[in-house]
Amino acid sequence: MEGIAKGRIVHYVLTESNAGYITNRRVPGVGHGKSWPAGSQAHVGNPAVTGEHVPAMIVEVFMAEGCVNLQCFLDGNDSFWATSRMFDEKEKIPGTWHWIEGA
C-alpha cells in the first residue's frame, strides 16, 4: 500500500467496544474539583464516542495489505492501542483506519 509506514498519522474510527472501554476506564470528575490521591495517575478526558475519528500513529505494519497497529490519540491524558486494524477507503467502518480526510 502506497505511503503506509511507521510514524505516519492517520485517522482511526472508534468501535462501540473501543468507546465503552475508553470511557469506562476514565475517572469522572478528576481534575474538575474532585480530589485524587497525591501521586496517582488517573485516566481523564471527554467521553469517547462510537464512530468518532481520532488521530492515530502507525506503530507497526504487517504483511497483510493495510494491516497496522495504531496508538490512538484521545481527548484526554490517555491513549488507546488499536491492534491489527485494516484500511477502509470509505472512511466509515468502525474499527478501521484511513488517511486523514482532506490531506
Which pLDDT belongs to residue 29? 61
The residue type at 46: N
Task: Give the tens place of pLDDT for each residue, 21-77.
Answer: 998 888 776 555 556 666 666 788 888 999 999 999 999 999 878 899 999 999 988
Taking the CA atoms of 21, 50, 28 and 78 in sequence, report the sign of the dihedral they define.
Answer: positive
With cell 486523514, the residue in question is: 100
Which residues, including other chains, have CB under 8 Å from residue 100's CB and lie 6 or more apart? 9, 10, 11, 55
State the pTM of this model.
0.85
Which pLDDT belongs to residue 16? 97
Which residues, including other chains, have CB under 8 Å from residue 41's CB and lie 6 or more apart? none
The answer to whether 11 and 56 have CB atoms below 8 angstroms apart is yes
